[in-house]
Chain A
Amino acid sequence: MISISHLSKTYHNPDGSTLQVLRDVNCEINKGEVISIIGPSGTGKSTLLRAMNLLDPPTGGSILFDGEDILAKDYPVHKLRQKMGMVFQNFNLFEHMTVLENVMYAPCKILKMSLEEAREEALSLLRKVGLADRGDDYPSNLSGGQKQRVAIARCLAMKPQVILFDEPTSALDPTMVGEVLSVIRQLAAEGMTMLIVTHLMKFARDVSTRIFYMQDGIIYEDGTPEQVFEKPRRSATKAFVQRIRKQVFEIDNSEFDFRGMESTIRAFCIKYNIADRCDRAIEITDLMQEVVMSKYMPYTLRITHSELSGESAVDFMVEGLENSPMKDPAVDSAFLKKLKALSSDIVEEPTTRGFRIKIIL
């Protein structure tokens, strides 16, 4: 369906310097594929999408859409974009139109659909994204998740053959990510061809038929989710997909700002979508500090989360210690019972630097 070869994109800054964002992108995209594009920030993931529908025209290479060269001079770009929808990070709903008008506008004006037909169509699309009752509202009255669902409906109204999602959940409050993802999942199930730039590894693995791992302006690794996430061929890919998110606190005396730590932990949990584990994590740090760790200061506290496995943990590390602090007489069975109720496992391990207690949430 889409064939991209040797695609490159170089930005020329006003000061004369240049920035090559895409170096040499080659890929084939077939009908029905759901491709997630992952990779570190600034490696050209969004630029690739924007180059494909010519919002940021590439500076080299070729793109064939159904065998037609869309970079040819006289190629009608707006016709291409009618077949290739796009959903933006910031929704970009038309603020002066109602929700229903947002969805109806392009079909009426471009496809010359009758008002009646367009309204029917728009209502059924809004029903599909769960917003049929908000048709007369203006976008400013909607939440972020609702706006993005309207944007998806607006895109679908043009009956595109492929949809490009440019970080569709990045601008959303974490509590609203789910509603948008479920709409995208539904589209995947219906066989819509999609390219999705995302930072959500778990979602990418679940929904995609194929993963592009991008780095340094090229598609560094291209494979099925199983292959890219479980058995990555290249070390950079491995490091990226298996990376562990963490937040570190150095607790050196009893004057430490525990309240500040609590709110940082909350922010961490919300950011990585593990808000349900937040209260337990905080309760564990309080309990441990109170009963055990106050005697072992200074120590290092970490909260970690692996996006791929979904495993989160709180660990306590005391440098230069050989025996587990859990052997302390203050650790009685009541305390251990309490701790086990909050966690799924407790690992005590000596390391080269000292002794670590890892409590898996």
Chain B
Amino acid sequence: MKRFGTIVLSLLLLSSCGAEKSRNLDIRSEADLSGLRVATITGSSYEMDLSKRDDISLTCYNATSDLLQALLTGKADVIVHDEVVFNPRIRKENGIKIAFLSERTSATALMFNKSDSELAEACSKVQRRMFDDGSMQRLKDFWLEGEYFRTGELKHIPDEGTGEPLRVATCASSAPLSFYVDGEWYGIEMDLVRELGRELGRPLDIKYYDTGSCIMTLKTGIADVLCGCIFITPEREEQFCFAEPYHYYHPAYFVLDPDADKEQLSIWEWIKKSIQKTFITENRWKFITRGLWATLRITILAILLGSLLGALLYRMKISRHPIDRVIARLYNSFISGIPQLVLLLILFYIVFARSSVPPDLVAVIAFAMYFASSAASIYDTSLSAIPRGQTEAGLALGFTKVQTFMQIVLPQAIRQALPLFKGQCISLLKGTSIVGYIAINDLTRAGDLIRARTFDALVPLLLITILYFIMVWLIGILLNLLYPKKHVL
């Protein structure tokens, strides 16, 4: 325990000392970037522009919070993002400044499926009305320049409508575009889609996808509209359909501000502040509890379903019919040859794309498919480890076949199987940390969402590690209850 405390403490120290060495970089134009380490957001148009230059070393991050961390911990010299994302309040808190603001602006709009041009047109109409009656200006004032900037105050237009939900995918979890606070989505783009929803009389169903997989949700028809600061590019216009741009964002080049008077906190004050902002502010602890429940729910259901499927697979494996055995073998080689994440994405974006199967269930099915394969081989190893003579002895004493299996073979096989089974359950539990890719807010994703708000990596990650640890421990305890009694009589 003492050693654990030491590790935690040194981690804390490391993270709080990360930004000590900062130098004053004089960047006035894009040409000055030459020779520097630059970081930006994966899949953004900045990435496309910067990757054409071979005189800089470019790194891309999926999340705004990770991008900021890269700058703060010295992994990057400059980071590129929309000016509004790191507003003056955030810049001051983290000791960064804008080195220069690009002249070029990016037309930004909501994106729709090519076949959904009517929806895009409806959206443009709503926006035109908003420009005309001044509500668009009020929206921009609030989110991009006004109260939100100064005070961090939140508000949003209430949802209305009873029709079929408008399925919204967002690939940004960063203020002020779209971000998640205490069970509700906020931000300028969220308000835009809400206006659209009101116009159409449809309630909203907003989900947060990874930057990489976000575009697929439109393609496969899982979402109707995609937002998250999507720039209009010619490549995108070929494949998708945009509403009219609602804003032109300025890309900004952020660097560490050597003159910033970062407040010097003692370790305990720092911990107190971190805990405050990680859990208490905006009821962020709810991310954790909901994520914990999602992880547990998916793990337990996948173990149950996978165990049953595994029994079926085992039956096929030892079947008399060669076709059954071939199917079982093919299934096993299919499963062992495909990464879990890929299977999950295939199920979500292809197999169940057009159906109304909820993401939770897709995840349960994907993990159960994996678990079935290992469960079948666990059943196989542990049952074949029981000599045939045990069955014969049971039969010869006068037990029926079923009694012999249940009372004599199975208790011995369970002893063999449990340690293996436990290992598989634990790796399943940890494997579920990828469900964030299909917009399930599990424990890992909860940490991401918190980090997106607090720009602090250490405390959420540490907490999540500890929670996974406890769950692994609990699984061990639960499975030990399944051990057959020491004495049979």
**Residues of A with Cβ closer than 8 Å to B?**
53, 55, 78-79, 81-82, 85-86, 88, 90-98, 101, 104-106, 108-110, 115, 154-155, 158
Contacts and interface: CB of A to CB of B under 8 A. Distances in A.
Contacts of B484: 96
A146 B389 CA distance: 18
Contacts of B400: 78
Contacts of B394: 94
A86 B489 contact: no
B411 to A, nearest CB: 6
Contacts of A86: 396
B488 A101 contact: yes
Contacts of B387: 90, 92
Given A97-B488, A98-B487, A101-B488, A92 B393 contact: yes
Contacts of A101: 487-489
Interface of B: 387, 389-390, 392-400, 403, 407-408, 411-412, 415, 484, 487-489
A55 B412 CA distance: 21
Contacts of A93: 393
A158 B398 contact: yes
A85 B399 CA distance: 12
A133 to B, nearest CB: 19
Contacts of A104: 489
Contacts of A96: 411-412, 415, 484, 488
15 contacts: A53-B396, A78-B399, A78-B400, A82-B398, A88-B396, A90-B389, A92-B390, A94-B390, A96-B412, A106-B399, A110-B397, A110-B398, A110-B399, A115-B489, A158-B398
B488 A92 contact: no
A196 to B, nearest CB: 15
B384 to A, nearest CB: 15
B416 to A, nearest CB: 10
B401 to A, nearest CB: 8
Q: Quick one: which of B392, B396, B415 has the most chain A CB within 10 A?
A: B396
B393 A109 contact: no
Contacts of B415: 96
Nearest to B486: A96
A101 B399 CA distance: 15
B395 A81 contact: yes
Contact of B392 (A78, A88, A98, A110): A88
Contact of A94 (B393, B395, B403): B393
Given A85-B396, A88-B392, A109 B412 contact: no
B385 to A, nearest CB: 11
A91 B393 CA distance: 8
A31 to B, nearest CB: 20
A81 B488 contact: no
B389 A88 contact: yes
A155 B396 CA distance: 9
A82 B489 contact: no
Nearest to A118: B489
A257 B487 CA distance: 54
A86 B398 CA distance: 10
B241 to A, nearest CB: 62
**Nearest 9 interchain pairs by C-beta:** A82-B398, A92-B393, A92-B389, A86-B396, A106-B397, A81-B398, A78-B400, A78-B398, A96-B412
Contacts of B407: 109
A57 to B, nearest CB: 12
Nearest to A98: B487
Given A55-B392, A94-B408, A110-B399, 6 more contacts: A79-B398, A91-B389, A92-B392, A94-B390, A95-B412, A101-B489
A81 B397 contact: yes
Contacts of B488: 96-97, 101, 105
A158 B398 CA distance: 9
A101 B488 CA distance: 7
Contacts of A105: 488-489
Contacts of A78: 395, 398-400
A108 B489 CA distance: 8
Q: Quick one: which of B398, B415, B484, B487 has the most chain A CB within 10 A?
A: B398
Contacts of A82: 397-398
Nearest to A154: B397
A91 B390 CA distance: 9
A108 B390 CA distance: 18
A4 B387 CA distance: 30
Nearest to A104: B489
Contacts of B395: 55, 78, 81
A30 B395 CA distance: 24
B396 A55 contact: yes
A104 B489 CA distance: 8
A151 to B, nearest CB: 8
A149 to B, nearest CB: 15
A115 B489 CA distance: 8
Contacts of B389: 88, 90-92
Contacts of A98: 487
Q: Quick one: which of B389, B394, B399, B488 has the most chain A CB within 10 A?
A: B488
Nearest to B400: A78
Nearest to A79: B398
B319 to A, nearest CB: 14
A55 B396 CA distance: 8
Q: Quick one: which of A81, A104, A108, A115 has the most chain B CB within 10 A?
A: A81
A106 B488 CA distance: 11
A297 B411 CA distance: 64
Nearest to B393: A92
A96 B393 CA distance: 13
B60 to A, nearest CB: 57
Contacts of B393: 88, 92-94
A145 B132 CA distance: 100
Nearest to A76: B400
Contacts of A106: 397-399
Nearest to B388: A92
A263 to B, nearest CB: 32
A96 B394 CA distance: 13
Nearest to B403: A109
A106 B399 CA distance: 8
Contacts of B408: 94
A311 B8 CA distance: 82
Contacts of B397: 81-82, 85, 106, 110, 154-155, 158
A209 to B, nearest CB: 24
Nearest to A107: B397
A108 B397 CA distance: 12
A319 B408 CA distance: 62
A100 to B, nearest CB: 9
Q: Quick one: which of A78, A81, A155 has the most chain B CB within 10 A?
A: A78
Nearest to B401: A78
Contacts of B392: 55, 88, 92
B227 to A, nearest CB: 61
